[in-house]
Amino acid sequence: MLIDFWYRNMAVVYLLYGLSLFGLGLIILFYGRIVKASSYRLVDILWLLGWFGIVQGVNEMIEMFSFLQGSSFLSEISSSLALFGASLLLFLFGYRLVNLVGENKLRFWFPLLFALLFFGWPALMGVNSYFVWNAASKYFLALPGAILSSIGLLVYSRQQAAGLDDHRDGKYFILAALAFGAYAVFGGLLIPQANFFPASIINSKTFLDLFGVPVQVLRAACAIAIAWSVLRVMDIFDAERIGDALRQKDLLWDAEMKNRNLIENIPIGIIATALDGKILEANPVTRELFGLGEADDIYSFPIISFYSDPQDWARLSNRLAKNEVVKDFRARLKRKDGGVFSGKIYAVRQTIGPEVQIIMALREILACEEESR
């Protein structure tokens, strides 16, 4: 029979259930370390969903071992605490999500009401067993938390529809909302049969008798659907980061182009060299100063070849080694044809990427300037 098949493989069901949520929780928390800021406000509360996944995953692992090895005092108390923690985290996620997207906020009375129900209902029942507290966790934390999460995701997808680059992203929000809605039923409402309402009527045994499928199977299916859809929803954060990086790259490219145009058209020589004198960049005015034609490759000449006295280059290099900026340095420079002229140099030593460069602005000193000195 199909029921026998499911119960023979119940350990696998618990394993899939637990691993799906535990893996989702790890990925969400890892993303939280990467995505520090986002235009999507959902990222600010995802950590609650991440910890829900981890704690609920641990709870399902405990349930799996209890199913295989039999329950014990330690496993019962551990499972109850894990269930309470996971249910509380899901409730807080749903509560904050609805307040994130809703125009009418849920005030402090809302969580206070469910806190009173959680503690008051077992007290009124007069029962202090783990089963009653587990039922309270499901009825008053997991059930409303999953419903709030479902509603919040539906509203959020509609609010963000215009900002989603791909219409499929909106569908993933809807799928996640539907998965949480189903989880509210299978993970919050359907608990084992008990002698109190509503567990006396709506319970996992009634469901099994009606449909022939253990509710744990559908909880696992919901967990897998939640994990998959939420991970797809989180793709929007990757798309946003990539878009920001591309926009930043475009801005840097535009700035570089503006700087290059400025350097190309400025009426003084601009030249960049390595510390050993290899020319890395030079603008057209520099080529004119050194008497180079269009066929000449300025990058094939070391900078020292344009100094009439090589000691001038040595002195400039030594001064830059002590001070990063050297102003009004005068040197005798020479052109390719051997003609000598006096030049004034403004030099800066700076690190660009992994390389230290010397950036120089130079111009020819006119004869009238020499006479006025």
3-class DSSP string for 270-305: EEEEECCCEEEEECHHHHHHCCCCCCCCHHHCEHHH
What is each CA distance from 35 to 41, 159, 177, 234, in whole angstroms?
A: 12, 21, 23, 10
Domain residues for the domain of 334 are: 266-372
The tokens 């145009």 sit on which residue? 261
Q: Please compute the mean of the pLDDT values over residues 39-58 and round it to a whole number.
A: 86
Digit-coded pLDDT (tens) for 310-326: 899 999 989 888 888 88
Look at 144-153, 192-201, 334-343 and tell me which has the smallest mean pLDDT. 192-201
On whether the CB atoms of residues 360 and 270 are closer than 8 A, the answer is yes
The answer to whether residue 32 sits within a structural domain is: yes
The residue among 42 and 161 whose pLDDT is bigger is 42
pLDDT band at 126 (very low <50, low <70, confident <90, very high): low
Report CA dihedral (168, 173, 176, 177) to the nearest 10 degrees.
Answer: -130
The answer to whether residue 168 sits within a structural domain is: yes
Clarify whether residues 315 and 366 are in a common domain. Answer: yes
The answer to whether residue 257 sits within a structural domain is: no
Q: 233, 253, 283 — which closes off a domain?
A: 233
Clarify whether residues 311 and 359 are in a common domain. Answer: yes
The residue among 69 and 124 whose pLDDT is bigger is 69
Give the chain's mean pLDDT.
82
Clarify whether residues 205 and 285 are in a common domain. Answer: no
Report CA dihedral (47, 52, 55, 56) to the nearest 10 degrees.
Answer: -150
Digit-coded pLDDT (tens) for 53-89: 999 999 999 999 988 888 888 888 999 999 999 999 9
pTM, to two decimals = 0.64
User: Cα separation of 310 and 306, whole Å?
Assistant: 9
pLDDT band at 40 (very low <50, low <70, confident <90, very high): low
Question: Residue 185 pLDDT > 60, yes or no?
Answer: yes
Count of beta carbons in the 10 Å neighbourhood of residue 137: 24
Q: Please compute the mean of the pLDDT values over residues 268-282 and round it to a whole number.
A: 87
The tokens 């071992």 sit on which residue? 65
Q: 216, 233, 250 — which closes off a domain?
A: 233
The answer to whether residue 367 sits within a structural domain is: yes
The answer to whether residue 94 sits within a structural domain is: yes
The tokens 């939640």 sit on which residue? 226
Clarify whether residues 218 and 303 are in a common domain. Answer: no
The answer to whether residue 243 sits within a structural domain is: no
The answer to whether residue 42 sits within a structural domain is: yes
Question: Residue 257 pLDDT > 70, yes or no?
Answer: no
The pLDDT, as a whole number, for residue 292 is 87
User: Cα separation of 142 and 153, whole Å?
Assistant: 16
Clarify whether residues 321 and 178 are in a common domain. Answer: no
